[in-house]
Structure 1
Amino acid sequence: MLPITKRKKRLICAGAAAAALLGLAAGLDSRLTVPHYQIESEKLSGAVRVALITDLHCCDYGQGQRDLLDAVAAENPDLVLLGGDIVDDDPSLPVENAYTVVKALAEQYPTYYVTGNHEFWSGQVEEIKENMTACGAAVLAGAWEDVTINGQNLRICGVDDPAVGTLEWKTQLTRVGEAADGSRFTILVTHRPERVEEYIQYNFDLTVAGHAHGGQWRLPGLINGLLAPNQGLFPKYAGGLYDLNGQTMVVSRGLARESTRIPRFFNRPELVVLELGPEAGV
């Protein structure tokens, strides 16, 4: 075997360094991505497109929040679900970023909002709810609304974040759970994905959540998430679509960027699009 010359060693080292830098750049890519999930149900005879937005945390998406709003417009959803932590508790983050998004969306689409833990941690959750209502969003806190879209009858249920208090949260979940009576396709909007054992006690066709931030660090194909609040290391429900014994849950990896102390890694912020429709062959 021929000895490796100093020049070759330098080239190998330079190549390895370049590959590492490219990998780091790819891992730290924080551009918005838009995953789509197909969800079929015998309760549906036509298509409904839903945009799911979670964990904005007042983050910046361009002048007038156009990067995010234009991405939503490009998907042309029939309704929008806001799964909590749209507002952050850090006063250094401009709250206008959150309300600009909500107001613009509510002017265009039926928009439904539930709280996350950071809205409660702000100490201003009631004011935030009032502002969401003023922006045009329906605030769901142990409540539901029936809506007919494209001839499809939907029931949109929502609960506050558990930071509201254990007893009140369970009361809210019971109330909306009893409304999931099988008469129409029913969606639960909640912030916390880790409470699946309580959600599946009821007949929700679809549960949507956020909170986990995609586990913050990912290795696609190997690790779906490293660490998530209230789930710890290697969270089971970091992001994606989950089959819960016949029910479906979709967890958004959220939109938080500059609000997090640790940067996202191979975990781009996302606007989730849910394609609801009839079962194949129907």
Structure 2
Amino acid sequence: MKKLKRKSLKIRKNIKEAALAAITAGSLSVVMELRRELREFLIRRYRICVPDPRGTGLDSQTTVKLVFLSDLHGKRYGTGNQELIRAVKHEKPDYILVGGDLVTRSNPKTDAIALELIRQLVKICPVYLANGNHEQKMRICTEEYGDRYEKYMAAVQEAGVHVLESASEEVSMKGVPVQISGLELPVKCYARFFAQKLQIQDVRDAIGEPKEGCYQILLAHTPVFMPVYQKWGADMTLSGHLHGGIIGLPGIGGLITPQAVLFPKYAGGIYREGKHVGIVSRGLGTHTVNLRFCNPAELVSVSLEFHSCENVDNPV
């Protein structure tokens, strides 16, 4: 009887030790993954096939390469952000599009980091930049931020960046007429609770109508209003803002946004509705909640193929 009792105790002890070892190993793996995802980023590639957009008689090989950056929040990947610069160069972009929040409004040191990056990006190819909510609030709330936005944006423009502050520019991308628009939303649309809904008229008031005969690319920082962007007339919308939902749940997507919204519909990835394509970056940095899990930071690379082909979007 005593032997059985001793054997039972030994088995229970072994089970406890095994369980403790498993918990320790699991916890260590989680911690290591959390740290890794805050140090590294991946390149998320999409191929977007667009039928000859406006009857321009394009060659079937007309491909435009775009790189999209969003939500860096003053993050550096390597000294002088050289790891990020190398990754951008590797993609050989024709244009670099920036979706806002390169800075964090509560941290003035991020301005210099953003400018350091921008001055390297303009050496690669033309750069078009739209504001995120952090830049927008810096611009509006001068009583809190003084002339910080004015100085920052003057340096951005001096570097040669095309700044789209609720503005549009027409570009000929290898013979394809393209309009790139940067949209600033009403600040109330970013409210944490009881956010104002965006109306199509708000978009029209800010940037007018899409230009007829152009493929329309819209830089709109938050993806929450993707159906509105589509109805307005965007052919492709590039967004960020939600940081991928911070924690990724397999088969579900992002868990929660920095604005405390659970299970955001447009946390990150590609979304199609009719002819409209929405691409949402999971961002390159963090703020306030310095956390990523199963949700790696990403640099977005888009190959726009302007010719008749099947609709294919292949993240690689």
**Where does 1:35-54 land on structure 2 (aligned, <5 Å)?**
35-42=44-51, 43=53, 45=60, 46-54=62-70
Give the Å deviation of 1:161.
Answer: 4.1
Cα–Cα, structure 1 residues 186 and 202, in superposed 2: closer, same or farther, change >3 Å? same
Q: Aligned to 1:270, which of 298, 301, 306?
A: 298
**Where does 1:1-282 land on structure 2 (aligned, <5 Å)?**
4=11, 6-7=13-14, 9-28=16-35, 29-30=37-38, 31-42=40-51, 43=53, 45=60, 46-91=62-107, 93-122=109-138, 123=145, 124-163=148-187, 173-174=204-205, 176=207, 178-181=209-212, 183-222=213-252, 224-229=253-258, 232-257=261-286, 259-277=287-305, 278-280=307-309
Cα–Cα, structure 1 residues 174 and 247, in superposed 2: closer, same or farther, change >3 Å? farther
**Structure-2 separation of matches of 1:232 and 1:7:** 43
Write out per-residue CA displacement over residues 187-230 of structure 1, whole angstroms, 9 at most, x where no aligned residue. 001111112232122221100011111111112333x1112256
Cα–Cα, structure 1 residues 171 and 125, in superposed 2: closer, same or farther, change >3 Å? farther
- Work out whether residues 34 and 270 of structure 1, in 8 Å CA contact, stay in contact via their aligned partners in 2: yes
Give the Å deviation of 1:69.
Answer: 0.8
Write out per-residue CA displacement over residues 58-116 of structure 1, whole angstroms, 9 at most, x where no aligned residue. 12222111011111111111101100111211235332110111111112211101111
**Structure-2 separation of matches of 1:22 and 1:40:** 40
**Structure-2 separation of matches of 1:238 and 1:7:** 43
Q: Which moved more, 1:156-165 or 1:47-56?
A: 156-165
SS at match of 2:251: coil
Cα–Cα, structure 1 residues 84 and 162, in superposed 2: closer, same or farther, change >3 Å? farther
Q: Which amino acid aligns with 1:142?
A: S
Cα–Cα, structure 1 residues 94 and 192, in superposed 2: closer, same or farther, change >3 Å? closer
Q: Which moved more, 1:18-27 or 1:34-43?
A: 18-27
SS at match of 2:272: strand
**Structure-2 separation of matches of 1:94 and 1:86:** 8
Cα–Cα, structure 1 residues 238 and 281, in superposed 2: closer, same or farther, change >3 Å? closer
Write out per-residue CA displacement over residues 6-27 of structure 1, whole angstroms, 9 at most, x where no aligned residue. 3464244313421332234224
**Structure-2 separation of matches of 1:239 and 1:111:** 23
**Structure-2 separation of matches of 1:62 and 1:101:** 11
The unaligned stretches of length 5 or more in structure 2 are: 1-6, 139-144, 190-195, 312-316
Identity rate, percent: 32
The unaligned stretches of length 5 or more in structure 1 are: none
Write out per-residue CA displacement over residues 240-264 of structure 1, whole angstroms, 9 at most, x where no aligned residue. 101123311101111114x333411
**Structure-2 separation of matches of 1:261 and 1:175:** 31
Which aligned segments of 4 or more residues in structure 1 are displaced greater than 6 angstroms?
Answer: 164-167
Q: Which amino acid aligns with 2:50?
A: S
Would you say how many aligned residue pairs link Structure 1 and Structure 2?
A: 277
**Structure-1 separation of matches of 2:303 and 2:208:** 23
Q: Which moved more, 1:114-123 or 1:22-31?
A: 22-31
- Work out whether residues 89 and 124 of structure 2, in 8 Å CA contact, stay in contact via their aligned partners in 1: no
**Structure-2 separation of matches of 1:16 and 1:237:** 33
Write out per-residue CA displacement over residues 33-59 of structure 1, whole angstroms, 9 at most, x where no aligned residue. 111112111126411111000011112
**Structure-2 separation of matches of 1:39 and 1:114:** 22
- Work out whether residues 186 and 204 of structure 1, in 8 Å CA contact, stay in contact via their aligned partners in 2: yes
Q: Looking at CA atoms only, which structure, 1 or 2, has the larger radius of gyration?
A: 2
